[in-house]
Structure 1
Amino acid sequence: MPVKITAVPLERCLDSRDLSEPQVGPKGEVLVFGVSQQGKGEIHTRDVSGGAEETWLLEPAPSVTRGFGGGCFQWLPDGSGVVYAAKTGGLWEAARGATSACRIDTQSPVTASRFGVAVSASGEWIACVQNLCELVVVHRATGEEHVIAQPHAFVFDPVWNGDELYWQAWSQPHMPWDESEIWSAHIAQREAHVVLHQPGVSIQQVQFSATGEMGVLSDVNGWLQPYHVVDGELVALLPPGEQVECGNPQWGMGAHTWCWSPDTTEIAIARNLEGFGDLVVVSVATREMRSLGRGVHGSLQWNSAGILALRTGAVTPTQLVKYAAQTFEREILATSEVDSTGGAWSQYELVEPTLGAVDCGNYNVPYRLYSPTTNETSEQPFIVWVHGGPTDQWQVTFMARVAYWVGRGVRVMIVDHRGTSGHGRAFQQSLNGHWGEFDTADLIAVVRHVHASGWATPQNTFFMGGSAGGFAALNAAGIAPELCAGVIALYPVVDLADSAEHSWYYEQHSIAVLVGDSPENELLYAERSPLSKVSALAKVKVLLLHGDLDTSVPMNHSITLAQALRKAGGSVALHIMEGEGHGFRLRHNQLREYELIGEFIFTL
């Protein structure tokens, strides 16, 4: 067996693509799925039974999503083509094999921002979500359209059951994982009424079986899990005592972490096992459960050929897989790995993380530690990496950035501070009222544990994170600068009062809930912001990276902090990534990110 290579070259990390929302056609023969690379999205096709993957070039280009999200396109009921949302706006129909599409919503502006495409069973009506807040139905033949009047500020994931349209809805001050409801309307009357609602409960991912049985995900028992809806009541589908999450915070539409079997006797469900994952099949009648395979799964669909899913793990680049009907034998249909001058991922020595937790008295702070296979010493750089959100979690998916740094002798710890998803509703909700406080305290507790365990010293410890993760990293270093050598913050929140006024409207209202008061309480907002900790942050080195097109966290956050740190005599480097939004998609900017971070951690 050839010796594995430890250090992964940059070319291998940068040469990749994202796969999304696989869908088999109504006849079970052809598979379509989204592919995005370097900011460009396409739809690809291949035969389910085999054959080459082909690019379905469409004009205008589809608004393909990334990862486990969806909502860009859907097959027509007869399999003759797809309806999709275009990147430039509007709803379009394309026949199989065609390269040009026909506009469906001809009565709306061509730039209308629409997503969450849902085609009725008859093919007569198309439902979609406009600007995340309006539910629109469009007659496919005439372009006639109607906005379904309903009382909520946000709507997600329309789905048809015959001529009845269902969707998820919620309003301020909630986010969908705090409290959300299921509503419906018949296409003839188009009068909305609530179907499922419980105060303080999240309900999402409405799914209907082939026989019309309704199911949802809900955290009514404290864990986000699948339920069968029977006479308006939620009936658990998982065995009693299963304390696992089966879904994620909805930062976008189209998640499918569970689905019905074609005969309605079973469900498939992707479970979150402390950040790791597996795919299981559960009997609806007996709740007997069997595991089909390890790995984080998403975008599930079950048809006569078997179960389709996206699958990934620490050493597994994202795959589009099929678990065959009857045998559930797994077959890889497509992969995120592309040809690279860096060679195949299989030649590199990739590592699985180890699970751990820091005991903080009445709660634990979970973490996942990625360690190099070379001899470990306390002199190796140690990155404490924080996810964004702050309501989110980095599960054990394939992360080229982690593989790159670990292959160069860096230990990387992914921290699940209070407010992280994946550990039940109580842990997730515990950050409400304490953002900037509890997450910061948890990071500091973890780093003290790292040093007490002899894994690193303050001289080679780095806090790192993006967005809300950058916020937490900067806050931790600002309160306990003696614990680290520096902070790497990508597009960080640094001023809560400014974010409450200028951040992305989808989450803008949640800041008051997370902080625990209104923006009028200037003192509290200032105390929780990194910008109030400049004198302490000036004692460590700071690297700031920000996109000039970022509308979620405008780049003035990083600019303002950099100016304040320089005025205080601190050592700060600010780099603006041109043409980038909230996250870096362009290859030359990704290359620059790696190089700047490497220079930062290896020269301190």
Structure 2
Amino acid sequence: MPATTPYGSWTSPISAADLTTNGHPVSGPRWVGDEVWWLELRPQEDGRSAVRRRDASGAVVDVLPAPWNAASRVHEYGGGAWAADDRGVLVFVEFADQRLYVLAPGTREPRPLTPLGTGGTHHRYGDVSLRGDEVVAVRETHTPSATKTGENTTDIVRDVVAVPLDGSAATDPAAVRSVVGGSDFLAAPRWSPDGRHLVWIAWDHPRMPWDGTELRVAPVDDDGVAGTWRTLAGSPTESVLQPEWLDDDTLVAIADPTGWWNLERITLDGVRTPLHPDAAEYGGPLWRLGTRWYTLLPDGRLLATRTFGSTSLVVLDPSGQRDPEPIETPWTSIAVGGARDGRVLVTSGASTVGAGARVLDLATGAAEDVRLDADDLPDARYLPVAERREFPGERTVHAIVYPPRNPDHVAPQGELPPYVAVVHGGPTSQAVAALDMRIAYWTSRGIGVVDIDYGGSTGYGRAYRETLRGQWGVVDVEDTIAAVRGLGEAGLADPARLAIRGGSAGGWTVLSALTRSDVFAAGVSYFGVAELERFAQDTHDFESRYLDGLIGPMPEAAALYRERAPLHAVDQLRTPVLLLQGLDDRVVPPSQAELFRDAMRERGIPHAYVTYAGEGHGFRKAATIIDATEKELAFYGQILGFATPGVPALPLD
């Protein structure tokens, strides 16, 4: 018989420790010989990214032993930090020094492939691949700047390089061959099968890769250096992603000239043929290097992800001779890996299906779990069920609603639950209906969650994404408020007990909503942006001109920067705020949270500011995740008026 207990105070079998003890997010599975290898985040090992595999007995073992940590910092978000060939040779970027290393089969100690930095100059590598006896990577070179001030005082140059696999470049920097450069940003270098041409993606400030990129091609000379390049596709207003070679003269790539990222066949003489025009997204924002949205199948077709809100799989024929073939799966969140013998590696999940790496048999539709993100899941009765909803506002707002769910409790008759509005980062990211133990932590305690795809989110075409252009701090706030008001009007949420949480750009929306409205009773900002002029100066190079599109270019938009910034509207704030911040964050430095804290302190706004040493942009360590989660719950309990059994109160200034 369920106990009658106020919402928010339900006892749950899901603790904050459960978010880390058996949780280990898995990504990027790939075939290595007959084995499957993948990258696995290990919160219990200080957030180490381990390359792991499943051996012949089915046991999961480390390929890369502790404490080695395969994580790139190119663009700060990294990506493409490891590669392996069928011999079992592993190449990876070590997080601590950002050098390339190789681990040969049968050895336990990696050896360096690239030199240490000298004289204040250092290098980072990402988008790593193996090509014969060389490693191909995007290199980021940081040198001390004579002109920059603020948090970041280096000048940065990027190029595509080839590094000898024999280790000769570890002591001889001249052995690293620069293949091509010439733009602010580069990604996805791909040699043609005959080795005569190189293609890659390039873009320059102030564009972000979802604004516009170019697919470039160049002949490669006998010394392995790219010659004069030309553009095959893309422009400042067209985004091209993930080029792959079909043969020596033909490519497949993702591009959005129609306003939707769709697949195209592109020849070296520039002839472009859409594979299947569709009002859906077959690509996404290139936040991390090495991201893939489709894979080549052995029979010449492509397995691609198709997204409009939810994600599904479809097989496309580059020759155009066969119609698209949808693949039925139980998943709503899917990323694809390599294909072999009719089987494809995927990373997949749904709100009621654990996420992780799987092998999908395309002929039968059968899926075999390789490694899931969690070893053990709670009883399914305690897990939230995703409900996709649309809310009316200035535009249709897409969201995923997770009502409270716990078989051991019911709320007193007539009580409505508190709800937390989750605002994703980016802001060019997307809410995904996947089993998220953080959401289960809230819903199993009687706290509803609404995950909002406000205007600017990916997954609904360029037009929806660009509603945020010049309107950051306006459209995202309007849409978040429209969603929670819609819940209240539908009788699903208590309008007096609405909270809002978000990280990074989502933290900006949290602070903007709290200073521009009185809808929310509490707000939690994880490493959020609070001010714009200093942020533009202090943030890392990749996003240093992002505000040109989100707000406007400087100095023309200087007045708008001040008008939009939550820091300059704290005099309108009446809502308690919790700020959580990693002290090693280079994307949104601690100065952002500290400026907002000081402004709240001056005005007597109840708040707490919690910092974590050794954490950057996104918390990775188990102790941090546990502490931050429990402090957030305690904060909601104090402000929204419910008990938090087993979690102590959080002192507020």
Both proteins in one fold, TM over 0.5: yes
CA distance in 1, matches of 2:526, 2:487: 23
Whether contact under 8 Å (2:72, 2:124) holds in the other structure is: no
2:19 to 13, 20, 39: 13
* Number of the residue aligned with 2:646: none
* Alpha-carbon offset, residue 160 of structure 1: 2.5
Matched pairs, number: 582
CA distance in 1, matches of 2:326, 2:382: 31
Consecutive unaligned residues of structure 1, counting only runs of 5 or more, are none
Q: State whether structure 2 residue 557 is matched by structure 1 residue 525.
A: no
Do the aligned partners of residues 207 and 50 (structure 1) sit closer, same or farther apart at CA in structure 2, a change above 3 Å counting? farther
Do the aligned partners of residues 80 and 585 (structure 1) sit closer, same or farther apart at CA in structure 2, a change above 3 Å counting? closer
* Number of the residue aligned with 2:42: 37
1:217-252 alpha-carbon deviations (Å, 9 max, x no partner): 1112211122222352332223x4x32212221111
Do the aligned partners of residues 106 and 384 (structure 1) sit closer, same or farther apart at CA in structure 2, a change above 3 Å counting? closer
* Number of the residue aligned with 2:312: 278
Instruction: Please give the TM-score of this superposition, normalised by the length of structure 2.
Output: 0.84
Whether contact under 8 Å (1:279, 1:294) holds in the other structure is: no
Instruction: Please give the TM-score of this superposition, normalised by the length of structure 1.
Output: 0.90
Instruction: State the one-letter code of the partner of 1:579.
Output: G
Whether contact under 8 Å (1:60, 1:101) holds in the other structure is: no
Q: State whether structure 2 residue 29 is matched by structure 1 residue 22.
A: yes
CA distance in 2, matches of 1:270, 1:33: 20
1:221 to 258, 262, 266: 258
* Number of the residue aligned with 2:90: 82
Q: State whether structure 2 residue 232 is matched by structure 1 residue 196.
A: yes
* Alpha-carbon offset, residue 255 of structure 1: 0.8
CA distance in 2, matches of 1:563, 1:154: 36
CA distance in 2, matches of 1:398, 1:196: 40
* Number of the residue aligned with 1:602: 637
- Name which structure has the greater RCO, CA cutoff 8 Å, separation 6+: 2
CA distance in 1, matches of 2:399, 2:158: 36
Root-mean-square deviation (Å): 2.5
* Number of the residue aligned with 1:251: 287
Consecutive unaligned residues of structure 2, counting only runs of 5 or more, are 1-10, 141-156, 170-174, 640-653
Whether contact under 8 Å (1:20, 1:70) holds in the other structure is: no
Do the aligned partners of residues 312 and 592 (structure 1) sit closer, same or farther apart at CA in structure 2, a change above 3 Å counting? same
CA distance in 2, matches of 1:346, 1:208: 46
2:210 to 177, 193, 205: 177
Whether contact under 8 Å (2:217, 2:231) holds in the other structure is: yes
* Alpha-carbon offset, residue 479 of structure 1: 1.3
CA distance in 1, matches of 2:581, 2:221: 45
* Number of the residue aligned with 1:293: 329
CA distance in 2, matches of 1:211, 1:287: 25
CA distance in 1, matches of 2:378, 2:245: 39
Q: State whether structure 2 residue 413 is matched by structure 1 residue 404.
A: no
2:398 to 366, 374, 380: 366
* Alpha-carbon offset, residue 463 of structure 1: 1.6
* Alpha-carbon offset, residue 509 of structure 1: 0.7
Q: Secondary structure at the match of 2:123?
A: coil
Do the aligned partners of residues 367 and 501 (structure 1) sit closer, same or farther apart at CA in structure 2, a change above 3 Å counting? same
* Number of the residue aligned with 1:572: 607
1:88-487 to structure 2, matched below 5 A, reads 88-105=97-114, 112-120=123-131, 123-131=132-140, 133-141=158-166, 142-143=168-169, 144-162=175-193, 163=195, 164-185=197-218, 186=220, 188=222, 189-199=225-235, 200-209=237-246, 213-230=250-267, 231-238=269-276, 240=277, 242-264=278-300, 266-274=301-309, 276-284=310-318, 285-295=321-331, 296-304=333-341, 306-324=343-361, 326-338=363-375, 344-361=377-394, 363-373=395-405, 379-481=416-518, 483-487=519-523
Whether contact under 8 Å (2:100, 2:112) holds in the other structure is: yes
1:90-129 alpha-carbon deviations (Å, 9 max, x no partner): 2222222321233333597696311111222xx0332111
1:468-511 alpha-carbon deviations (Å, 9 max, x no partner): 11111111121112x12111111110001111111121111111
Q: Secondary structure at the match of 1:221?
A: coil
* Number of the residue aligned with 2:154: none
Do the aligned partners of residues 224 and 500 (structure 1) sit closer, same or farther apart at CA in structure 2, a change above 3 Å counting? same
Percent identity, aligned pairs only, is: 25
* Alpha-carbon offset, residue 562 of structure 1: 1.3
Do the aligned partners of residues 453 and 344 (structure 1) sit closer, same or farther apart at CA in structure 2, a change above 3 Å counting? closer
* The 10-residue stretch of structure 1 (542-551 or 220-229) with the greater mean CA deviation from structure 2: 220-229
1:526-545 to structure 2, matched below 5 A, reads 526-537=562-573, 539-545=574-580
Do the aligned partners of residues 408 and 103 (structure 1) sit closer, same or farther apart at CA in structure 2, a change above 3 Å counting? same
Q: State whether structure 2 residue 519 is matched by structure 1 residue 513.
A: no
Whether contact under 8 Å (2:30, 2:337) holds in the other structure is: no
